[in-house]
């Protein structure tokens, strides 16, 4: 059987751009949280003074770096079941909140074990990777849209994996003095950086996650077949914001115009 080849315009007809953009913001922030640790993890472990020599520092750095992925593998199945029981949207928001809290604990850690617990919690409280794929499958229901929709996720991961280390490497000042810190930083920020040199990149990444969280709460539609028809107060608030600030009509208003 010969399939008719569609043009790009035909493939994009009816593509769920809005929902995919909201999911993309969530997906983009996840690899930033995962990879922002890599540029400074060696120095962080060294400052904790848990390792007697440089070789041991590398070993403990490996433990700290890999604990996120290990714990995410352990918890992924349970988060998948949670999303089936309670919905996709609440699962994504829980993952973003859990990751944000874990980042703050990591940035203000006093010793290696606090940092290891924070990094492990970051993986245990985040099962968004599998849930996001499920959401995309439920958003892009037409076959012609699926190739582009699914291909955006690994692209966003790679882009986030570039931005994350840049943030981590640029925002760590650990020489013990204020000579490194830009002069335009507020005085209170300089004091915090002096006491917690690894806090700033984690706070910045946390802001990225909060931005993704707010977008998800306000604009992400539930895709679970059972829960998608229930009232979503966050989505109602998002619709009112869009109606006030941009030209926008809700789905209910559009359908009412069609049948009037």
Q: Which domain holds residue 254?
A: 230-260
Q: Are residues 138 and 31 in the same domain?
A: yes
Q: Are residues 74 and 177 in the same domain?
A: yes
Q: Is 259 part of any domain?
A: yes
Q: Are residues 96 and 202 in the same domain?
A: yes
Q: Are residues 131 and 256 in the same domain?
A: no
Mean pLDDT of the chain: 85
pLDDT band at 11 (very low <50, low <70, confident <90, very high): low
pTM of the model: 0.85
Q: Is 1 part of any domain?
A: no
Compute the distance between CA of residue 36 and CA of residue 4 in angstroms, rounded to an integer. Answer: 45
Question: Could you read off the pLDDT of 216-253 as tens digits, one per residue?
Answer: 999 999 999 899 888 898 988 988 887 776 655 555 55
Q: Give the range among 2-11, 73-82, 140-149, 219-228 with minimum mean pLDDT.
A: 2-11
Q: Are residues 65 and 109 in the same domain?
A: yes
pLDDT band at 258 (very low <50, low <70, confident <90, very high): very low
Per-residue pLDDT at 119: 95
């Amino acid at each position: 059987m010969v399939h008719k080849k569609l043009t790009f315009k035909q493939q994009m007809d009816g593509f769920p751009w809005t929902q995919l953009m909201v999911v993309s913001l969530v997906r983009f922030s996840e690899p930033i949280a995962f990879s922002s640790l890599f540029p400074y993890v060696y120095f962080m472990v060294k400052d904790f003074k848990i390792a007697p020599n440089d070789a041991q520092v590398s070993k403990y750095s490996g433990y700290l770096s890999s604990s996120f992925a290990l714990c995410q593998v352990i918890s992924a199945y349970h988060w998948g079941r949670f999303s089936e029981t309670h919905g996709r949207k609440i699962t994504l928001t829980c993952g973003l909140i859990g990751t944000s809290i874990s980042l703050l604990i990591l940035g203000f850690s006093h010793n290696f074990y606090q940092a290891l617990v924070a990094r492990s919690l970051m993986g245990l409280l985040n099962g968004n990777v599998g849930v996001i794929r499920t959401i995309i499958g439920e958003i892009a229901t037409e076959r012609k849209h699926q190739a582009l929709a699914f291909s955006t996720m690994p692209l966003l991961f790679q882009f986030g994996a570039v931005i994350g280390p840049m943030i981590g490497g640029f925002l760590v000042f650990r020489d013990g003095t204020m000579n490194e810190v830009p002069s335009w930083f507020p005085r209170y920020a300089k004091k915090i950086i002096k006491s917690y040199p690894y806090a700033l990149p984690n706070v910045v990444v946390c802001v990225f996650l909060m931005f993704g969280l707010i977008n998800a709460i306000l604009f992400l539609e539930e895709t679970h077949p059972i829960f998608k028809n229930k009232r979503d107060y966050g989505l109602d608030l998002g619709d009112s914001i869009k109606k006030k600030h941009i030209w926008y009509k809700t789905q209910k208003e559009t359908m009412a115009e069609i049948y009037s």
